[in-house]
Amino acid sequence: MTDDSLPLAPSVSRSLLARMTSGGWVIPAFLVVWFALVIVPLLVLFAYSFFETRNYATIYEPSLNTWISLLESGRLGVSLRTLRIALTVTVIDLVIAFPFALWLAKGGASKSTRAVVIALLTIPFFLDISSRTIIWRAILGENGAINALLMQIGVIETPMSWMLYTEWSVHFGLIIASFPTMVLPIYLAISIIDDALIQASGDLGASPAQTLFRVIVPLAMPGITLPPASCSRSAWCWRPGSSRACWAAASSTF
């Protein structure tokens, strides 16, 4: 046996992969699947907004009543407030999550620390968002842990009620609940950036800020753009046909 025969299997695998991807059908096929799984459901959801629901049944008669109802009974104000909360939560989460993900991926965290942090970030995905937020009632409520502690040490005499059932608590609950969703994609995008590119940027005279905004951020942009869309969706809920805009996630708890 000669040395020339050793790399045969990898060569065959590479040639098979090249044949599979050399045709022009891969990208169109992906776009078709993406359109069917993402765009079509959104179009169906939009179409249902022109139908009404009566007695738990959808009336398939096109109507603008659902959209007109936004201008009545204060629903437009609720919708705008919900949109404002969704955007605020998304911006705050992004501002907090990006530095955290950068530290986790490139900040010198040890492998054991990184493994523990990632495990802690993935645990919330095994629980629904209501379960993740309802625990804060036992912490922020008038009879919760924070009020009990402050009253016990004499800082306050009566429980603080502003920490629960307020817009502040809605922001807080959504930020906490959406944080893992924001961090993990950004961490994955930053972690695959070649360290040699970052080092080369410094060797060429770039400052840390220039390296961050001209190297790391552009390369991590796929992971940065995806989570905000998910966080905004979590904070905004539209029920087609019911003519109601509702606060989702933490608003149901707080």
Interval 182-188 mean pLDDT: 93
Whether the Cβ atoms of residue 232 and residue 86 lie closer than 8 Å to each other: yes
Whether the Cβ atoms of residue 102 and residue 190 lie closer than 8 Å to each other: yes
Whether the Cβ atoms of residue 26 and residue 32 lie closer than 8 Å to each other: no
Model pLDDT, residue 127: 81
Measuring CA to CA, which residue among 218, 215, 191 is closest to residue 203?
Answer: 215
Interval 22-43 mean pLDDT: 86
Interval 117-138 mean pLDDT: 83
235 falls in which pLDDT band (50, 70, 90)?
Answer: low
- Does position 252 have pLDDT exceeding 50, yes or no? no
| Alpha carbon 187 to chain centroid, angstroms | 13
How far does the chain reach from its first CA to its final CA, in angstroms? 72
Model pLDDT, residue 23: 57
- Does position 62 have pLDDT exceeding 80, yes or no? yes
Class of CATH domain 74-252: mainly alpha
55: exposed, middle or buried (C-beta count within 10 Å: 0-12, 13-18, 19+)?
A: exposed
d(CA 8, CA 44) in angstroms, rounded, equals 50
| Per-position b or e across 169-206, b if 16+ CB within 10 A of its CB | bbbbbbbbbbbbbbbbbbbbbbeebeeeebeebeeeeb
Model pLDDT, residue 249: 35
DSSP codes joined into one string, 31-97: HHHHIIIIIHHHHHHHHHTTSEEETTEEE-S--SHHHHGGGSTTHHHHHHHHHHHHHHHHHHHHHHH
Which tokens sit at 139? 């912490």
What is the tens place of the pLDDT at every residue in 7-21?
A: 444 454 556 556 655
Model pLDDT, residue 43: 94
Interval 198-209 mean pLDDT: 92
pTM of the model: 0.68
Q: What percent of the chain has pLDDT over 90?
A: 30
Tell which wins on pLDDT, 109 or 247.
109
Tell which wins on pLDDT, 205 or 9.
205
